[in-house]
Amino acid sequence: AEKLVHLLIDAAPQVRRAAATSLGQIGDGIAVDGLLAALAEPSDPVLEHSLIYALIEIGDAAATRAGLTNENPRVRRGALLALDAMQPNPLRPEDVAELLRTGEPTLRTAALQVIAKHVDWSTAAGEAITRMLDSPKTSDADRALLIELLVAFREADEVRRLVAERLTSAATTEATADALLEAMARMDLATAPDAWQAPLERRLLASADETTARAIEAANNLGAESFAEPLTRIANDRSRSDELRLAALTAVAFGRPISDAQFAWLAGQLTAAETPSQRWTAARTIAAARLSPQQLQRAFELLAEAGPMEMSALVDVAAQVQDEATGKQFIASAAKAAERVSVPPGAINDLLKRFPSLASRLPERLSSGATSGDVAEQAARLEQLEAELDDGDALRGRAVFFGQRAACFACHRVGEEGGRIGPDLGAIAERRTRRDLLESIVFPSASLARGFESFTVATDDGRVHVGLLLNETADSVTVRGADQRETRVRRASIEQMLPSPVSIMPQGLDRTLDARQLSDLLAYLMSLKAN
């Protein structure tokens, strides 16, 4: 082992890595001092990993602990990571709390990450959070770690008290309040702690739209029903931006009645909203609210005139049909819409399960959609379109892509512009043929891009979240919907989570766009290459 320790200072990195690996396998504690000393030298990440892993394998906690007080921050960081990986874990909260006082960013980051993993270290976490909240300047990395700590220690009384105090204090900066509210929007809590109710209500009614937007996200995550009064005030406040009013009404309207004035405003947003995602959110909110009979009739009228994106959400009003006569009215509206756009089959299939007699009245254009169409029919439709389309103009096609009618940019990114729901199309022409792209536009569910399959998540409160599955943990899943919003769903509340065979991308753009626009759009997509 002693000869191998001498090789830890060899000029060749590969020799040092091999020596560290061998020392770890031997497991002799005599090597710990040499491994710690080797960490002091700037090195590549692979060598650093080899040195730390060797310390873990040797497992001499007492000897490794000496590295926590070394003057070199690289040694302190390596010793910290090694000790944290040993079993049983020998670290104490005070060991890590001391490292938080360092001015070296990578060491402080490592210490915060270790604390976040130990949910029983609430006192140390409270001290770390207080220190970060009191810091006059916070980097983006520190802000992310602050949020991580707040989320990890959300059950700790000390942390809950800190959040309430800082949200209440007039001395709290907007940046700090923003971080606190973002953390609250990510916390897996069934309801908001009592101490947070009043300060969060005040933040909801703040004059700054940015603060209010964060507060709405927090209130929605912690239980919008507890904040119904301030959320309704925001939704009805004409001095607020449409985006903010829509977010507030969406949070509070689920499964609840809305006024005729609110319904009329939402209906107007289907055409007046500035962005496609706002139009989709307005449609989703109409479908999710508990509509009066008169509002339901008006919703059917809106359905008949809806575009592809709005249709994908508005069609869910079918769930509010309570009798066969109303079901007939829904089918009539859906059939009218199907003359222009594709009607998603799921809601129609569910309606037919509840009222089987309606199947005999289902127009052919709806019944074919209810069974996802026929492959031969799809092929014939593509051939028909190819015959009708010309080469198109890429410059005009870009205007179609970023225009409000097709609204491709709402979900797809090209360069630095666009959304992140669907695949990045920056070099799509290198991976797809013109025929492939046409099929993706006309029949988006025919071939779902790997990694962009949508999921349907149903919860015990009756909500259904549809979108991309961004993240899964032991406690929650995060879904990004067509409105770009990310929703964190507690696993304990999930009744069913299934992959959806239907793309989140609306079907029927070939009916929304004329032949020239579709030709131009294809020309633009075929121009998108890496260079």
Domain boundary residue among 330, 346, 371?
371
CATH number at residue 32: 1.25.10.10
What number of residues does the chain have? 531
142 within some domain: no
Task: Identify whether residues 392 and 432 lie together within a single domain.
Answer: yes
pLDDT given for residue 119 in this prediction: 75
Cross-strand pairs, 417: 414
Asked if 175 contacts 167 with a C-beta cutoff of 8 angstroms, the reply is: no
Listing DSSP states for 249-280 in one string gives: HHHHHTTS---HHHHHHHHHHHHH-SSHHHHH
Is residue 406 pLDDT above 60, yes or no?
yes
Answering whether pTM is above 0.75, one says no
**114-132 pLDDT, tens per residue?**
887 887 888 888 888 898 8
466 within some domain: yes
Q: What is the largest CA-CA distance in the chain?
A: 89
139 within some domain: no
Listing DSSP states for 94-137 in one string gives: HHHHHHTT-S-HHHHHHHHHHHHH-TT-HHHHHHHHHHHHH-S-
Task: Identify whether residues 482 and 515 lie together within a single domain.
Answer: no
pLDDT given for residue 236 in this prediction: 96
134 within some domain: no
Residue 41: how many CA atoms within 13 Å on its side-chain side?
14
Domain boundary residue among 45, 72, 91?
91
Q: Read off the pLDDT of each residue in 446-472 and give the average, rounded to a whole number.
A: 74
Task: Identify whether residues 436 and 407 lie together within a single domain.
Answer: yes
- Residue 353 makes CB contacts below 8 A (sequence gap 6+) with none
31 within some domain: yes
pLDDT given for residue 372 in this prediction: 42
Task: Identify whether residues 350 and 489 lie together within a single domain.
Answer: no
pLDDT given for residue 371 in this prediction: 42
Could you tell me the residue range of the domain that residue 391 belongs to?
A: 375-448+506-526
Q: Tell me whether residue 471 is exposed, middle or buried, using C-beta atoms within 10 angstroms of its C-beta: 0 to 12, 13 to 18, 19 or more.
A: exposed
pLDDT given for residue 368 in this prediction: 53
pLDDT given for residue 22 in this prediction: 94
Is residue 274 pLDDT above 80, yes or no?
no
Task: Identify whether residues 462 and 492 lie together within a single domain.
Answer: yes
Question: What backbone phi and psi angles, to 5 degrees, belong to 425?
Answer: -100, 15
Asked if 505 contacts 411 with a C-beta cutoff of 8 angstroms, the reply is: yes
Is residue 99 pLDDT above 90, yes or no?
no
164 within some domain: no
Domain boundary residue among 44, 62, 91?
91
pLDDT given for residue 502 in this prediction: 67
**17-74 pLDDT, tens per residue?**
999 999 999 999 999 999 999 999 877 889 999 999 999 999 999 999 999 999 999 9
pLDDT given for residue 531 in this prediction: 63
CA dist., res. 353 & res. 362, Å (int): 13
SS3 string, 435-486, reads HHHHHHHHCCCCCCCCCCCEEEEEECCCCEEEEEEEEECCCEEEEECCCCCE
**147-173 pLDDT, tens per residue?**
888 988 898 899 999 999 999 999 999
Task: Identify whether residues 412 and 466 lie together within a single domain.
Answer: no
Task: Identify whether residues 271 and 388 lie together within a single domain.
Answer: no
- pLDDT, greater one: 446 or 415: 415
444 within some domain: yes
CATH number at residue 471: 2.30.30.100
126 within some domain: no
Task: Identify whether residues 270 and 381 lie together within a single domain.
Answer: no
Is residue 323 pLDDT above 50, yes or no?
yes
Task: Identify whether residues 394 and 354 lie together within a single domain.
Answer: no
pLDDT given for residue 375 in this prediction: 62
Task: Identify whether residues 300 and 413 lie together within a single domain.
Answer: no
pLDDT band at 180 (very low <50, low <70, confident <90, very high): very high
Q: Read off the pLDDT of each residue in 173-198 and give the average, rounded to a whole number.
A: 91
Among residues 357, 358, 356, 364, the alpha carbon closest in space to that of 330 is found at 358
- pLDDT, greater one: 446 or 158: 158
Q: Read off the pLDDT of each residue in 451-465 and give the average, rounded to a whole number.
A: 77
Task: Identify whether residues 319 and 437 lie together within a single domain.
Answer: no
How many structural domains compose the chain? 4
Q: Tell me whether residue 516 is exposed, middle or buried, using C-beta atoms within 10 angstroms of its C-beta: 0 to 12, 13 to 18, 19 or more.
A: middle
Task: Identify whether residues 443 and 414 lie together within a single domain.
Answer: yes
**350-396 pLDDT, tens per residue?**
888 888 888 887 887 676 544 444 566 777 888 888 899 999 999 99
